[in-house]
């Protein structure tokens, strides 16, 4: 897991926020911890600074953890978000997860927080890796398609049994079959005369 560079803590109790910073700095000493006591500070911090994780209390005067979550998701859809509260019950926990929180931890079970953070950050890192791989695959497929379409020579790709996998526009013009007609079919069945095909099969 890549160590987090910045964490944002939303808690209206300054002492609680400082104690949390102290606890987490022991795990990630190089991490920069930002704190917000209410809506204005929190939303300004989200707009201004990219962070790797948000830890939010559930009940903040004039604001709530779910409102903070909704704002964070709007600004930074993929940011990991953990509800850390002493007032959260099972129904609220389920509601938080349905709203998009990655996890919730009760303040009377602080030992759960660091493992939860590690799990959430690992999951976020894996999601980013998958997205990069998907983007890379799509870009590779787009480049391959562009090359196939622009090629003046016939390009026919087959599997080891002779089934057509790719049939480019130049091949369509040359052989008179469309891409849809050829893909998945045996090439020999379409372009080789029956007599030659029988002779070839007899040699096998």
Contact 92, 58 (CB under 8 A): yes
CA–CA separation, 51 and 66 (whole Å): 18
| CATH classification at residue 180 | 3.30.450.20
Q: 90 and 176 share a domain?
A: no
Confirm whether 164 is domain-assigned: yes
Tell me the residue range of the domain where 194 lies.
151-202
Confirm whether 141 is domain-assigned: no
The per-residue pLDDT string of the chain (204 residues; one tens digit each, 9 = 90 and over) reads 677 889 999 999 999 999 999 999 999 999 999 999 999 999 999 998 778 999 999 888 899 999 999 999 999 888 999 998 876 666 777 888 888 899 988 888 888 899 999 999 988 888 778 878 878 878 888 888 888 888 888 898 988 888 899 999 999 988 889 988 899 888 877 777 666 655 555 555
Confirm whether 93 is domain-assigned: yes
Number of domains in the chain: 2
From residue 29, give the alpha-carbon distance in Å to each of 5, 82, 112: 10, 20, 19
Q: 105 and 185 share a domain?
A: no
Q: 67 and 38 share a domain?
A: yes
pLDDT at 200: 54
Locate 9 and state its tokens: 């803590």
Q: 103 and 45 share a domain?
A: yes
| CATH classification at residue 66 | 3.40.50.2300
């Amino acid at each position: 897991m890549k160590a987090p560079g910045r964490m944002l803590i939303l808690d209206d109790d300054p002492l609680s926020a400082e104690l949390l910073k102290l606890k987490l700095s022991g795990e990630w000493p190089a991490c920069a911890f930002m704190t917000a006591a209410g809506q204005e500070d929190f939303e300004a911090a989200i707009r201004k600074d990219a962070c790797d994780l948000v830890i939010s209390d559930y009940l903040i005067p004039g604001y709530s953890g779910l409102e903070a979550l909704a704002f964070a998701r709007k600004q930074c859809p993929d940011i990991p978000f953990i509800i850390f509260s002493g007032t959260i019950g099972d129904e609220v926990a389920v509601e938080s997860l349905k709203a998009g929180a990655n996890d919730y931890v009760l303040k009377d079970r602080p030992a759960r927080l660091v493992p939860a953070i590690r799990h959430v950050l690992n999951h976020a890192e894996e999601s980013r890796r998958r997205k990069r791989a998907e983007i890379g695959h799509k870009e590779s497929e787009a480049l391959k398609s562009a090359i196939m379409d622009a090629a003046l020579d016939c390009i026919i790709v087959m599997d080891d049994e002779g089934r057509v996998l790719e049939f480019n526009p130049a091949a369509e013009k040359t052989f008179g079959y469309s891409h849809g007609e050829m893909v998945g079919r045996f090439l020999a069945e379409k372009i080789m005369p029956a007599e030659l095909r029988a002779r070839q099969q007899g040699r096998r």
